[in-house]
Amino acid sequence: MNGSRTSNAVLLSEIVAGLAASGAASAVCVPAPYLAQCQAQLAGSALGWGAQDVSAHASGAYTGEISAAMLQDFGCSYVVIGHSERRAYHGESDAQVAAKTVAALAAGITPIVCIGETLAQREAGQTNAVVAQQLGAVLAAIGGDDVAKLVLAYEPVWAIGTGKTATPQMAQDVHQELRGQLVAKNAVAAAGVQILYGGSMKPENAKELMAMPDIDGGLIGGAALKAADFLAIIHAAD
């Protein structure tokens, strides 16, 4: 929950200007009030845009919710679903995340499905079981062909803003587990699914993380608020 119309205009302009030399796919997922600004400023650029949440419902008496059709109106290509903060602060369940994923897919919007464990779960040796359950709920709700339309983001909650860090190998181990689960659902599609790392990726660690075979990119938080840092991460993927 960051940004203003004025600061957004500067940030987006700087990011677009710095993308010229990059072959990596990139996008910004912004608070809903700024989707119109993204549509106006980014149309025709190399920078995609999307939202931070979507309703599982198509329309109706759901005050405060934002439907996939509404996101379509603003040209959204992506939507973040099941972010760790939504799960923690709003009590979003695996079933709700799965329903939102289905809604996004039905609207032709790419869902960036977030998955990850807490520190307590990691210390209890439950990492693989937790992420398998979270991803499993989504895979059970979609058809095999829809696997190719997903983007996953692994967020080790314990490594976000805590000072604790996951090593590239620790992150890779979980990404490999997620890839294996995708293979079990649709082996052909699984290889092409992008699995992003969302555990405080920064310019300093981006290249080392993305050198891992199953880490295909990053879901960037605070570092994306500074154009130079965000661009450094994007260029690390080239």
Q: Catalytic amino acids?
A: 83, 155
Instruction: Please report which helix (H) or strand (E) contains residue 28, including its range.
Output: strand 26-30
Cα separation, 5 vs 30, whole angstroms: 12
End-to-end CA, the chain:
29
Instruction: Report the DSSP beta bridge partners of residue 114.
Output: 153
> Tokens for 13?
């302009």
> Tokens for 68?
């996939």
Instruction: Please report which helix (H) or strand (E) contains residue 47, including its range.
Output: strand 47-51
Nearest 5°: the CA angle 153, 158, 162 is 115
Assess contact for 66 and 55: CB atoms under 8 A.
yes
Nearest 5°: the CA angle 26, 30, 31 is 170
Which of helix, strand or coil describes residue 63? coil
